[in-house]
Structure 1
Amino acid sequence: MPAEWAPHERTWMAWPSAGYTLGDTDEEVESARRTWAAVARAVAGFEPVTVVATPDDADLARRYLTEGTDTPFAIEIVTAALDDAWMRDIGPSFVLGRGGELGAVNWVFNGWGGQHWASWEHDAQIATFVGEQAGASVIDSPLVNEGGGIHVDGEGTVLLTETVQLDAGRNPGMSHAEVEAELERTIGATTAIWLPRGLTRDYDEFGTRGHVDIVACFSEPGTVLLHWQEDPDHPDYEVSRAAEEVLRASRDAAGHPLTVVKVAAPRTLADDEGPVDWSYINHLVCNGGVVACVFDDPNDEQALATLSAAYPGRRVVGVDARPLFDRGGGIHCITQQQPLRPLT
């Protein structure tokens, strides 16, 4: 599995059409549509975007996605049945073979461990659909997993959490070794770095039970960006420090120790539902750019500067991600990159 900063063919997204993600009130529905469209247009500033929409929503999606100024790259719409719109999790994890062949890993998707509010009859088919649309060879896996549950350096190292991969609702009875063997078979990961858990809010009703992509990510081989909660009154203060301890004791697939870059969490600590899990880690690296979460928070500017330093030569664009986090995710969660096949 190539690193996210490797060249992309395009980015895939899904259009919110139903359920808790879309919302119940007119205001919630409008907020979801405008936020998904804003992310798609920001990504299309750097590379092509393909959005999966239900047949009934295709024209509506097209109107929102093309509203305003033209994007430098095209936003294409393809149609399929959907339950939800978190493409990172329902879509495939793309990989490249030794000869540059494109593969699409089809994890088992069961609604983030069988959450009582989730439906996944259609979403469980999206990885295969997207893989076939991309012209990839679909690689079926028996592992219950989502794209937000892993992050790779492109050189054989994968970050993951104990509470996702070993979740009784996902892979009951599986061992670390069994998970690692399947990740080696599917995405070529030879070294797994297990963080103990995710951020606290991610264990609430609409959470994923600990996705790694709001906690830590690679920005280059040997360097990990870490969500850093600085306020001891926030429950993620201890989560950040436990993750740091593991990362500083770990080595990557090349045998090198990791450099840990702390990315200060937003200063906003809570909303009406309790402690927030707002995270600048949940960004998407694109061709020549980074689409990053912002929160109208005093730490936004500092975070964008940190990301600019972490990805030199890329333009960093912020999109207000509060409507996404209200629904349980962020920008990385609604996007999935397709790597560019190398020239042969």
Structure 2
Amino acid sequence: MTFCLPPEWHPQDAIMLTWPHEDTDWAPYLAEVEPVYIEVARQVLQRQSLLIICHNETVKHQVHSLLQHSNIDISRLHTFIIPCDDTWARDHGPITLVDDQGNNKALDFIFNGWGNKYDASADNAINRHLLQQTSVQAEYQAVEFVLEGGGIEVDGQGHLLTTEQCLLNPNRNPGMTCEQIEQQLNQHFGCEKVLWLQHGSLEGDDTDSHIDTLARFAPDNTIVYVQCHDQNDAHFDELHRMEQELTSLRRHDGKAFNLVPLPMPAACFNQQGERLPATYANFLIINDAVLVPTYRQPELDNRALQQVQTAFPQYDIIAVDCLPLIEQFGSLHCITMQLPKGFLA
């Protein structure tokens, strides 16, 4: 049996969230950010199960109360009490492989707070606790390699897309060469070709250019990516160079990928005047739908929704207001992790 990492549009059992609470950096923003989590929960639970990590019993009670008061059917909700430092499930959640029999193997990579920028000791232990739960039937495997889910994209055709700025950063796996890191990626995920981007970054992003903020795979050999037309925007040069790199990428068969550009949101700033990493590329694929982050910019939001629909013609495209999320420098995909069919008992 050969395990491999399926693309995000592979059938799913559930989505995982780690709920924000008062002991996280979300404390000043809880009233603004919890409605985003509630809306994500509403959309997910209409289509599949939802698994929520709750820091303690108080948070678990709060989650159940919020969802029930929002008239959300919680019959497919699974809540687990596991201590957490923060809420970025994409990066501390399990990266789950499947085999052709439908078995799941959940890989538990080391999460070091995006290169030791933040304390992540509790978050790094979440998967170990989660995979001990009786309602989970995925096999557990710890991996001695630093990696976040937001740092990789796969298409199910043997290609893995990532950025040099993140995976080759000495704050992740110091002492490993590019070739050794490629070998790890191919070995763990059943891929054959790693596609490296040298360019692409967003101001305010503290992940060292996670690929899920910049360029994403879609079905039928497609890449959806952030495009910047404004030559006065600080992102113009990097994103233009990234676009040239994407144009020159080649698949196994020597053919180019189909490219679908997304607009660049207008600049968003916090109260300290820092630019926030708003991006439409940080969408989440669930069963039969794509949840797309929006930023209260109607014209650009609508154009982004149309472009995502172009890449996912068979899917419902659903806008989720994520302006509160970028206050902590992430967006919709960053707070979620998909769990493939077969993950739950």
TM-score with structure 1 length normalisation?
0.91
The question of whether the paired residues in 2 share the 8 Å contact of 1:11 and 1:50 is answered with yes
What letter matches 2:257 in structure 1?
L
Which residue does 1:168 correspond to in 2? Answer: 170
What letter matches 1:41 in structure 2?
R
The question of whether the paired residues in 1 share the 8 Å contact of 2:199 and 2:239 is answered with no
Name the CA distance, whole Å, in 1 between partners of 2:262 and 2:279: 9
Name the CA distance, whole Å, in 1 between partners of 2:306 and 2:166: 31
Name the CA distance, whole Å, in 1 between partners of 2:342 and 2:78: 20
What letter matches 2:97 in structure 1?
V
Structure 2 SS opposite 1:61:
helix
The question of whether the paired residues in 1 share the 8 Å contact of 2:276 and 2:327 is answered with no
What letter matches 1:279 in structure 2?
T
What letter matches 1:287 in structure 2?
N
The question of whether the paired residues in 2 share the 8 Å contact of 1:91 and 1:130 is answered with no
Shift of 1:78: 1.4
- 1:4-29 CA-to-partner distances (Å, cap 9, x unmatched) read 11111111111112455322x3xx12
Which residues of 2 match residues 30-69 of structure 1 at below 5 A? 30-56=31-57, 57-69=59-71
- 1:234-257 CA-to-partner distances (Å, cap 9, x unmatched) read 122122212112222212345432
The question of whether the paired residues in 1 share the 8 Å contact of 2:276 and 2:329 is answered with no
Name the CA distance, whole Å, in 2 between partners of 1:186 and 1:131: 18
Structure 2 SS opposite 1:299:
helix
Identical amino acids, percent of aligned pairs: 26
Residues 254/333 of structure 1: CA separation in 2 closer, same or farther (3 Å cut):
farther
Residues 19/179 of structure 1: CA separation in 2 closer, same or farther (3 Å cut):
farther
Which residue does 2:15 correspond to in 1? Answer: 11
Which residues of 2 match residues 292-311 of structure 1 at below 5 A? 292-297=292-297, 298-311=299-312
What letter matches 1:335 in structure 2?
T
Structure 2 SS opposite 1:208:
coil
- 1:181-217 CA-to-partner distances (Å, cap 9, x unmatched) read 11112111211111124423244xxx11111101000
Shift of 1:331: 0.7
- 1:115-135 CA-to-partner distances (Å, cap 9, x unmatched) read 0xx221211111233344432
Which residue does 2:256 correspond to in 1? Answer: 257
Which residue does 1:340 correspond to in 2? Answer: 341
Name the CA distance, whole Å, in 2 between partners of 1:334 and 1:252: 30
Name the CA distance, whole Å, in 1 between partners of 2:96 and 2:56: 25
Structure 1 SS opposite 2:170:
coil
Residues 60/157 of structure 1: CA separation in 2 closer, same or farther (3 Å cut):
same
The question of whether the paired residues in 1 share the 8 Å contact of 2:138 and 2:342 is answered with no
Q: Does 1:126 align with 2:130?
A: no
Residues 279/49 of structure 1: CA separation in 2 closer, same or farther (3 Å cut):
same
The question of whether the paired residues in 2 share the 8 Å contact of 1:244 and 1:260 is answered with no
Residues 76/341 of structure 1: CA separation in 2 closer, same or farther (3 Å cut):
closer
Q: Does 1:241 align with 2:240?
A: yes
Which residue does 2:80 correspond to in 1? Answer: 78
Name the CA distance, whole Å, in 1 between partners of 2:317 and 2:47: 11
Aligned length: 334
Identify which range, 71-80 or 48-57, moves more after superposition.
71-80
Which residues of 2 match residues 114-153 of structure 1 at below 5 A? 114-115=116-117, 118-133=118-133, 134-153=136-155
Name the CA distance, whole Å, in 2 between partners of 1:69 and 1:62: 11
Name the CA distance, whole Å, in 1 between partners of 2:73 and 2:227: 34
The question of whether the paired residues in 1 share the 8 Å contact of 2:24 and 2:85 is answered with no
Which residue does 1:211 correspond to in 2? Answer: 210
Structure 1 gaps of 5+ residues are: none
Structure 2 SS opposite 1:281:
coil
Residues 176/40 of structure 1: CA separation in 2 closer, same or farther (3 Å cut):
same
Name the CA distance, whole Å, in 2 between partners of 1:129 and 1:251: 40
Which residue does 2:228 correspond to in 1? Answer: 229
Name the CA distance, whole Å, in 2 between partners of 1:79 and 1:19: 15
C-alpha RMSD of matched pairs (Å)? 2.0
The question of whether the paired residues in 1 share the 8 Å contact of 2:49 and 2:77 is answered with yes
Shift of 1:67: 2.7
The question of whether the paired residues in 2 share the 8 Å contact of 1:219 and 1:311 is answered with yes
Identify which range, 167-176 or 4-13, moves more after superposition.
167-176
Structure 2 SS opposite 1:168:
coil
Shift of 1:72: 8.3
Structure 2 gaps of 5+ residues are: none
Identify which range, 62-71 or 214-223, moves more after superposition.
62-71
